Chain A
């Protein structure tokens, strides 16, 4: 065997050895993310969160502002004011997931769409990820914009799984692919996040670029504040939604 051949075999074996390196368990990757973004204590220190930002659809030339209020353990209210489309509100309170817009009017969510809203409303979803994803597995490695990532598949009890990509180097989440569920159908969504910034001890990605079919949507988080009380009634069901819920309950 020539020196060249020996080197080739050696490199080949080294490559095989590298490939054979066991991937970290998904729970290790997810817990690492919690650690590098502030740690469990920093997350659990808070019970209320107010997030503000901007949203844009560059191809359509549309833009607006986003406000999200969250209250532990699982209350959520979001308002998106999107220029000529008007205000789109959604929320989750007392097990009711709802949406209201100028176009479609009030609507109570059900099925997988409701379950997805419930998962998103869970205040400690990040640290308590085991509560919402009973199954998590590392699928392999894949680069996101040139950065090596672990690819992790998270499966909820109902609805669609999501795949997350965590940087091997920093432990930060760089991309998520999932399926958005609405009465308009199921649409594959790819979200790339970046520009992590610290807000009261917790590191948040402040920019996201989402692709949904042919649509692209960009979001910029301008501020995250904790434990500032939301305006009174923020988490109350809107009257129209309450009427619908009461009617469905036979009240």
Chain B
């Protein structure tokens, strides 16, 4: 989908760099002849994609296909391709034969859209979500700021956000999680730097503010080769309902300890709400460990992961002090991976009721590498089947109660998803 002319026009005019990106994306000469080096790099990219799937796919016959025959069919076509775009289209067609998600090829130029301009850990002090194509402030963590929940972020450092959202939403290979990361990156930068932002306030009046970027919330925590990520955890009581939220399944020792403490401190609560909205996942085993604080029965599991050469049960080891009351889990399109394994498994076991919107359907461990021609290649290395018998890949977790955030509710100080979960827990208490 092309951006609307007016929005595209604004973006191009205000940021020459994005104009260049747009040109790369939409105005590449389709019929340009490839120089031998480009042809060779496309062929090397094809071999890399084909052999990676042959060697890493969890099925020895990927997607039930004769993968050698696929090579024989597609290599001559890539050899004959007259442009990088044509070669990419052929490779996309090849991986499309798998009929499995999380196999994707991103044009090199898309990285320029996805990547933050400038990079850095600096955080503007508020969180955003993309609601109905608009970037909306959902939480403000900087009390002294004039910014309010429900405001729309229109521009950051002169860049219109709406055309960026439109462009990314038009690409089926980019899901909500990636979209929100791309948007968040536009609001981030070096700690201490200032970003000029333009908002639409509660009256849709334009408000221009210079926002100083601060240290990201939480403590940095790494895991092996994974670069350190900021990790935070919060728990509180909303009336007599426990509320737990953390941004990522990392910093295992501390987060598991805090999760266990929060559950035990709420042993007599009416219910427990675990908010996984925006949580992209992390260490899969943490889902098993947390489920042990919520499930009393032995012999249960969240699901099964199938890898090449191994099948692993995501088993639950019930804790002696496991919580026995009602459990609600809040999710959205940015709840991915371990969040989905946790929410989907507990839903399938009938242990939790899910509120929000469908999750990212990105429950498989997948890897993104760069190909010789500069394109990005994402591939999955395992399949995960939730306890209900369905793969989470491509399906995600469908909430029991679908509730969307809305700008209007946020402006009125309401979190509609949280309200629905609290309402359900209240009714459960009455019915008991």
Binding site for B on A (CB under 8 A): 57, 59-62, 83-86, 102-105, 107, 183-185, 187-188, 212-215, 240, 243-244
Mark the stretch among B64-72, B104-112, B136-144, B282-290 that contacts chain A: B282-290
Cα–Cα distance between A183 and B310 once the two chains are bound (Å): 13
Contact A85 B252 (CB under 8 A): yes
How far is it, in angstroms, between the C-alpha of A222 and the C-alpha of B371 when the chains are bound? 41
Q: How far is the CA of A184 from the CA of B250 in the complex (A)?
A: 21
Q: Looking at the complex, which one of B310, B312, B319 makes contact with A105 (CB distance below 8 Å)?
A: B319
The reply to whether A244 and B310 contact each other, CB–CB distance below 8 Å, is: no
Q: How distant is A105 from chain B, measured CB to nearest CB, in Å? A: 5
Contact assessment for A105 and B224 in the assembled complex, using a CB-CB cutoff below 8 Å: no
Q: Choose among A105, A213, A243 the residue that contacts B308 (Cβ–Cβ < 8 A).
A: A213
Min CB distance B95 to A, Å, is 20
Q: Is the pair B289, A105 in contact by a Cβ cutoff of 8 Å?
A: yes
Given contacts A104-B292, A183-B313, 9 further A-B pairs with CB under 8 A are A61-B225, A61-B226, A84-B253, A102-B253, A185-B312, A188-B310, A213-B307, A213-B308, A243-B320
Q: Is the CB of A103 within 8 A of B252?
A: yes
| Chain A contacts for B222, CB-based, 8 A | 84
Residue of B nearest to A103 (CB): B289
Q: Is B309 an interface residue (CB 8 A)?
A: yes
A84→B315 CA distance, assembly (Å): 21
Say yes or no: A57 contacts B252, CB within 8 Å.
no
Determine which of B250, B253, B311, B381 lies in contact with A86 in the assembled complex, contact meaning CB atoms within 8 Å: B253
- 28 pairs across A/B with beta carbons < 8 Å? A60-B224, A62-B223, A84-B221, A84-B222, A84-B224, A102-B253, A102-B257, A102-B289, A103-B256, A103-B289, A104-B289, A104-B292, A104-B317, A105-B292, A105-B319, A107-B317, A183-B317, A184-B314, A185-B311, A187-B312, A213-B307, A213-B308, A213-B309, A214-B308, A214-B309, A214-B310, A243-B320, A244-B320
Known: A84-B224, A103-B289. A184 touches B313 (CB 8 A): yes
Number of A-B contacts (CB under 8 A): 76
Q: With A and B bound together, what is the CA distance between A213 and B365 in angstroms? A: 15
B383 CB to nearest A CB, Å = 13
> Which 9 A-B residue pairings sit nearest by Cβ, starting from the closest?
A213-B310, A61-B224, A61-B225, A103-B289, A60-B224, A86-B253, A183-B315, A213-B309, A62-B224
Return the chain A residue nearest B291 by Cβ.
Answer: A104
Shortest CB–CB separation between residue B380 and chain A, in angstroms? 12
Name A214's contact: one of B223, B317, B381 (CB within 8 Å): B381
**B-side contacts of A85, CB under 8 Å:** 252-253
What are the residues of chain B within 8 A of A107 when measuring CB–CB? 317
A-contacting residues, B265-292, CB 8 Å: 285-286, 288-289, 292
A105 contact set on B, CB distance < 8 A: 260, 289, 292, 317, 319
Q: Which of A86, A215, A244 contacts B252 (CB 8 A)?
A: A86
Q: State A187–B312 Cα separation when bound (angstroms).
A: 8
- B319 cross-chain contacts in A, Cβ below 8 A: 105
Given known pairs A84-B252, A85-B252, A103-B289, the reply for A184 and B315 (CB within 8 Å) is: yes
User: CB-CB contacts of B238-263 with A at 8 A, as 1s and 0s?
Assistant: 00000000000011110011001000
Q: Give complex CA distance A238, B315 in Å.
A: 22
Alpha-carbon separation in the docked complex, A218 to B235 (Å): 39
A243 to B253, CA, bound (A): 23
| Docked CA distance A85–B257 (Å) | 12
Q: How far is the CB of B253 from chain A (nearest CB, A)?
A: 4
Contacts of B253 in A (CB 8 A): 84-86, 102
* Chain B proximity of A87: nearest CB distance (Å): 8
Residue of A nearest to B225 (CB): A61
Please, which residues of chain B bring their CB within 8 A of the CB of A86? 252-253, 256
Specify the chain A residue showing the minimal Cβ separation from B260. Answer: A105
Whether A103 and B221, one on each chain, are in contact in the complex, defined by CB atoms closer than 8 angstroms, is: no
Q: Which residue of B lies closest to A99 (CB)?
A: B317
- Provide the B107-143 mask, 1 if CB < 8 A to any CB of A, else 0: 0000000000000000000000000000000000000
Q: Which residues of A contact B289 (CB under 8 A)?
A: 102-105
Q: What 0/1 pattern do residues 294 to 314 of B give for CB contact below 8 A with A?
A: 000000000000011111111
A159 to B161 Cα, complex, angstroms: 60
* Bound CA span A60–B226, Å: 8
**Chain A residue at smallest Cβ distance from B290:** A103
Asked if B252 and A212 make an inter-chain contact with CB atoms under 8 angstroms apart, the answer reads no
User: Is there an interface contact between B312 and A103, defined as CB atoms closer than 8 Å?
Assistant: no
Which A residues lie within 8 Å of B256 (CB)?
A: 86, 102-103
**B320 cross-chain contacts in A, Cβ below 8 A:** 240, 243-244
How close is B225's CB to chain A, nearest CB, in angstroms? 4
> Nearest Cβ in chain B — how far from A8, in angstroms?
38
Interfacial chain B residues near A188, Cβ < 8 Å? 309-310
Cβ contact within 8 Å between A103 and B315: no
Q: Output the nearest chain B residue to A104 by Cβ-Cβ distance.
A: B317
Contacts of A215 in B (CB 8 A): 310
How far is it, in angstroms, between the C-alpha of A214 and the C-alpha of B307 when the chains are bound? 8
Q: Considering the chains assembled together, what is the distance between the CA atoms of A184 and B251 in angstroms?
A: 22
Question: A187 — nearest CB in chain B belongs to which residue?
Answer: B310
Which among B225, B292, B312 is the interface contact of A184 at CB below 8 angstroms? B312
Chain B, residue nearest A105 (CB): B319
What residues of B have a CB within 8 angstroms of the CB of A213 in the complex? Answer: 307-310, 312
Residue of B nearest to A60 (CB): B224
Instruction: Report the separation of the CA atoms of residues A243 and B321 in the bound assembly, to the nearest whole angstrom.
Output: 12
Chain A: CB-nearest residue to B58: A214
A214 to B285, CA, bound (A): 16
